[in-house]
């Protein structure tokens, strides 16, 4: 009522404009314009529909007919991974399994119930199946049970008519013939997580696995291959009448590693039960022949899910079996860092090969006394002797003269504390060569003492065993060798394996000669620190460098008491034992780095281990063998 009154009132007031109300006129015009547009759009859609249904109707009718050929997708076999001699290190095992295609049964609970009567389902299976039924698209099969026995299959086949939507299908599962031996390099696969499936529908297919570590992870895309499909003729209710066409998809690429599994086994044998890692490289082209990180784990456990107890055991183990120490373990390099410091000094001109530095057993810098490992000192020595005796005072002084920025720049060229971009592994750590700039960025002042301790690879310096092996290779060849693990993919040789690939390092050859001579003396001359590393092969010499990296500051009191013996310390406080080397000295072929966690002195523990590894490596050199070495060993392991 109220409204009506107002209405008439307004009408009276607006009477003079009645009929030519500007807003109404504009609205009408514009509304007609919009209607024209709306009509045009719907008209165009009608036209498009005419094109689809009438003009191209027969084309689509044929496609629809083909659609009665229901297409079913399946996972392709994952690419094999082999060692350099073609021996499988990751392969596939046939796995018979029962699948359910939800779109082909009208009564899913009934089908499942009948299925469970024939082949029992665990409660774990049931919850998984229910989850997948809710989340997967109806045309993607769901796995009911895998690893069916012949009995199971016979029972199912017999009852197929009462099990609409159930298929028996052959898939594969991953097997790792060498188990823990190559677990860190090869990695493992696991069923895809839900978030993976969101990004890639293919992963929803039963049997699809995702690489979670090692080569399996980094090369996942090429190992996975292309999804295959089967075309089946289905009748009006969806029952399969016949298989018409099969697209096998593309099996994943076969990847050949640079690893020699026989050598890997021998290296592991040498390491035995020590918590250690070792890397053997072909120092001419960067091929990693062996990469051992001990202890290890069994990669096949991940395929079906790792038990809680197992996981806790792994993660609580102080020797970190799940971590690949060769690329993820960070260690102070200790004295193995000295050749890099020497090269930095030579390049900076702060040291010449003939310069002599006097070692009285200690050096005083900025009011602090830094000790040499030898209490009695080494006397007046030159670079070659400094390396040979691994004199700390010599390198304290060299580092002091050269400065940390120059040392960091040179050692990074050797790969220390640097990214090694070509190594095909995940979780590769970069380590650190500290510089004053870095220290300031973390809010601290860099003082002279930091340079001194860095000069012998202590303090903040941290590198990985792979970096040490690369460093040894680069010293041996003078070329910027890039470590890598893949020799070929699908039969195509990787470019890095090419001998000419590595470029020369921008350092004078004579400097390399001086440093190599020092490293030769370490092993082969009277009084060198590593006589135990001398090779027992006639005519072949090895050059190397020892290192014992303290993980805990040694107090002066302990040192001066004279009774200090790190072997009496608890295991986790003992120094790491390190050794880097290459051989043959006159024609470098292989480089090795060994790090034994808390192994005490590099000279006593790491040097003989490196010698043994190098001996094995040289004995396996293909030049000495017509047949791939270790074939029989590897075969025995597969069976």
Partner 1 sequence: MKFQKRLLRAEPNFQILTKLWQVNWLYVILICALAVVGYVALYSAGGGTSRPFAGPQSIRFCFGVVMMLGIALMSPAILVRLAWPLYIFSLILLVAVLRMGHVGKGAERWLMLGGMQVQPSELAKIALVLMLAAWFHKISYRSMGNPLLLIPPALMVLVPVALVLKEPNLGTAVIIGTVGASMFFGAGMRLWQIALLILPVPMLARIAYSHLHDYQKARVTTFLHPESDPLGAGYNIIQSKIALGSGGMWGQGYLHGTQGQLNFLPEKQTDFIFTMIAEEWGYVGGVTVIGMLLLLVFGGMLIAMRSRNQFGRLLGLGISMNFFLYCAVNLSMVMGAIPVGGVPLPLISYGGSAMLMVMFGFGLLMSAWVHRNATFGETTPGEKD
DSSP assigned state of 104: G
169: left (phi over 0), alpha (psi -120 to 50) or beta: beta
Question: Nearer Cβ to partner 1, position 24 or 369?
Answer: 24
Which residue bears the tokens 């290190």?
89
Do 582 and 476 meet the contact criterion of CB atoms below 8 Å apart?
A: yes
Q: How far is the CB of 330 from partner 1 (least distance, A)?
A: 34
- Helix%, strand%, coil% for the chain, nearest 5: 45, 20, 35
Determine which helix (DSSP H) or strand (DSSP E) holds 390, and give its type and residue range.
Answer: none
Do 596 and 274 meet the contact criterion of CB atoms below 8 Å apart?
A: yes
Binding site for partner 1 (CB under 8 A): 1, 3-4, 6-7, 10-11, 14, 22-24, 26-28, 30-31, 34-35, 38-39, 41-42, 45-46, 48-50, 52-54, 56-61, 63-65, 67-68, 70, 73, 103, 106, 137-140, 198-202, 227, 234, 236, 238
Q: What is the 3-state secondary structure (H, E, C) of 156-171?
A: HHHCHHHCCCEEEEEE
Distance CA 433, CA 407 (A): 9
Q: How far is the CB of 426 from partner 1 (least distance, A)?
A: 22
Residue ranges of alpha helices (H) inside 200-358 are 214-218, 220-224, 261-271, 308-316, 325-328, 338-348
Sign, Cα dihedral of 505, 506, 509, 513 = negative
Q: Is 445 exposed, middle or buried (0-12, 13-18, 19+ CB in 10 A)?
A: exposed
Distance CA 411, CA 433 (A): 8
Question: Nearer Cβ to partner 1, position 60 or 564?
Answer: 60
Q: How far is the CB of 24 from partner 1 (least distance, A)?
A: 7
3-state SS, residue 198: helix
List CB contacts of 509: < 8 A, sequence separation 6 or more: 478
Question: Nearer Cβ to partner 1, position 234 or 577?
Answer: 234
Q: How far is the CB of 78 from partner 1 (least distance, A)?
A: 18
Span between the terminal Cα atoms of the chain, in Å:
97
Distance CA 394, CA 141 (A): 70
Residue 534, token pair as written in the block: 């001398």
Question: Nearer Cβ to partner 1, position 56 or 510?
Answer: 56
Question: Nearer Cβ to partner 1, position 106 or 510?
Answer: 106
Distance CA 188, CA 211 (A): 6
Q: How far is the CB of 51 from partner 1 (least distance, A)?
A: 9
Question: Nearer Cβ to partner 1, position 247 or 422?
Answer: 247
Q: How far is the CB of 40 from partner 1 (least distance, A)?
A: 10
Question: Nearer Cβ to partner 1, position 48 or 427?
Answer: 48
Question: Nearer Cβ to partner 1, position 47 or 621?
Answer: 47
Q: How far is the CB of 587 from partner 1 (least distance, A)?
A: 52
Residue 330: how many CB atoms within 10 A of its CB? 16
Residue 161, token pair as written in the block: 């008519």
Question: Nearer Cβ to partner 1, position 65 or 627?
Answer: 65
Distance CA 98, CA 142 (A): 9
Q: How far is the CB of 135 from partner 1 (least distance, A)?
A: 10
Q: How far is the CB of 430 from partner 1 (least distance, A)?
A: 29
Question: Nearer Cβ to partner 1, position 10 or 162?
Answer: 10
Question: Nearer Cβ to partner 1, position 26 or 312?
Answer: 26
Question: Nearer Cβ to partner 1, position 64 or 638?
Answer: 64
Question: Nearer Cβ to partner 1, position 61 or 94?
Answer: 61
- E strand spans, 250-385: 255-257, 276-282, 288-294, 357-359, 362-365, 368-371, 379-381
Do 266 and 500 meet the contact criterion of CB atoms below 8 Å apart?
A: no
Which residue bears the tokens 């044929």?
62
Which residue bears the tokens 């640079």?
258
Question: Nearer Cβ to partner 1, position 57 or 86?
Answer: 57
Cα angle 361, 364, 368; round to 5: 115
Q: How far is the CB of 189 from partner 1 (least distance, A)?
A: 20
Distance CA 149, CA 520 (A): 62
Q: How far is the CB of 238 from partner 1 (least distance, A)?
A: 6
3-state SS, residue 78: coil
Residue 512, token pair as written in the block: 């390399």
Distance CA 609, CA 530 (A): 11
Q: How far is the CB of 2 from partner 1 (least distance, A)?
A: 8
Q: How far is the CB of 13 from partner 1 (least distance, A)?
A: 9
DSSP assigned state of 272: T
Determine which helix (DSSP H) or strand (DSSP E) holds 352, and give its type and residue range.
Answer: none
Q: How far is the CB of 31 from partner 1 (least distance, A)?
A: 5
């Amino acid at each position: 009522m109220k409204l009506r009154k107002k209405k008439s009132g307004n009408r009276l007031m607006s009477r003079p404009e009645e009929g030519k109300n500007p807003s109404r006129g504009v609205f009408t015009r514009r509304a007609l314009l919009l209607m024209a547009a709306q009509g045009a759009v719907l008209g165009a859609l009608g036209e498009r529909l005419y094109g689809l249904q009438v003009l191209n109707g027969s084309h689509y009718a044929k496609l629809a007919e083909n659609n009665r050929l229901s297409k079913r997708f399946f996972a392709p076999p994952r690419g094999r991974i082999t060692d350099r001699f073609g021996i499988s290190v990751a392969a596939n095992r046939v796995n018979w399994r029962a699948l359910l295609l939800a779109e082909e049964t009208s009564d899913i609970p009934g089908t499942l119930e009948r299925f469970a009567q024939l082949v029992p389902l665990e409660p774990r299976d049931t919850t998984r199946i229910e989850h997948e039924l809710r989340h997967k698209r109806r045309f993607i099969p769901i796995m009911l049970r895998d690893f069916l026995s012949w009995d199971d299959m016979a029972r199912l086949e017999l009852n197929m008519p009462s099990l609409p939507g159930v298929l028996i299908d052959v898939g594969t599962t991953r097997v790792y013939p060498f188990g823990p031996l190559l677990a860190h390099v090869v990695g493992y696969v696991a069923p895809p997580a839900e978030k993976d499936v969101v990004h890639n529908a293919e992963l929803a297919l039963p049997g699809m696995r995702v690489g979670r570590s090692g080569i399996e992870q980094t090369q996942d895309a090429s190992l996975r291959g292309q999804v295959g499909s089967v075309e089946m003729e289905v009748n009006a209710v969806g029952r399969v009448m016949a298989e018409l066409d099969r697209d096998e998809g593309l099996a994943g690429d076969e990847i050949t590693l640079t690893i020699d599994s026989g050598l890997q086994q021998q290296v592991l044998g040498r390491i035995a039960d020590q918590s250690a890692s070792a890397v053997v490289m072909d120092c001419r082209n960067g091929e990693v022949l062996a990469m051992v990180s001990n202890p290890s784990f069994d990669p096949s456990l991940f395929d079906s899910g790792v038990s809680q107890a197992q996981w806790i055991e792994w993660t609580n183990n102080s020797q970190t079996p799940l971590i690949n120490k060769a690329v993820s373990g960070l260690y102070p390099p200790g004295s193995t860092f000295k050749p890099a410091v020497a090269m930095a000094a030579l390049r900076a001109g702060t040291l010449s090969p003939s310069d002599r530095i006097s070692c009285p057993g200690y050096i005083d810098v900025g009011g602090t006394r830094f000790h040499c490992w030898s209490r009695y000192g080494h006397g007046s020595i030159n670079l070659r002797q400094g390396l040979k005796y691994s004199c700390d005072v010599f390198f304290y002084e060299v580092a002091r003269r050269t400065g940390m920025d120059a040392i960091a720049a040179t050692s990074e060229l050797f790969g220390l504390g640097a990214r090694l971009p070509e190594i095909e592994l995940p979780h590769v750590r970069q380590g650190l060569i500290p510089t004053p700039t870095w220290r300031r960025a973390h809010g601290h002042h860099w003082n002279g003492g930091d340079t001194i301790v860095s000069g012998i690879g202590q303090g903040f310096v941290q590198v990985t065993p792979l970096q040490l092996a690369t460093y040894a290779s680069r010293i041996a060849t003078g070329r910027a060798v890039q470590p890598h693990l893949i020799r070929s993919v699908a039969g195509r040789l990787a470019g890095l394996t090419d001998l000419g690939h590595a470029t020369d390092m921008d350092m004078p050859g004579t400097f390399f000669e001086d440093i190599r001579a020092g490293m030769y003396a370490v092993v082969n001359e009277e009084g060198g620190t590593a006589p135990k590393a001398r090779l027992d092969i006639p005519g072949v010499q090895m050059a190397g460098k020892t290192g014992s990296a303290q993980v805990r500051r040694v107090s002066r009191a302990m040192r001066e008491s004279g009774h200090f013996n790190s072997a009496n310390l608890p295991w986790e406080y003992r120094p790491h034992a390190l050794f880097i080397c290459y051989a043959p000295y006159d024609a470098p072929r292989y480089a090795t780095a060994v790090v034994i966690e808390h192994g005490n002195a590099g000279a006593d523990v790491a040097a003989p281990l490196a010698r043994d590894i190098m001996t094995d490596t040289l004995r396996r050199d293909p030049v000495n063998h017509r047949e791939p070495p270790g074939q029989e060993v590897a075969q025995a392991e597969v069976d």
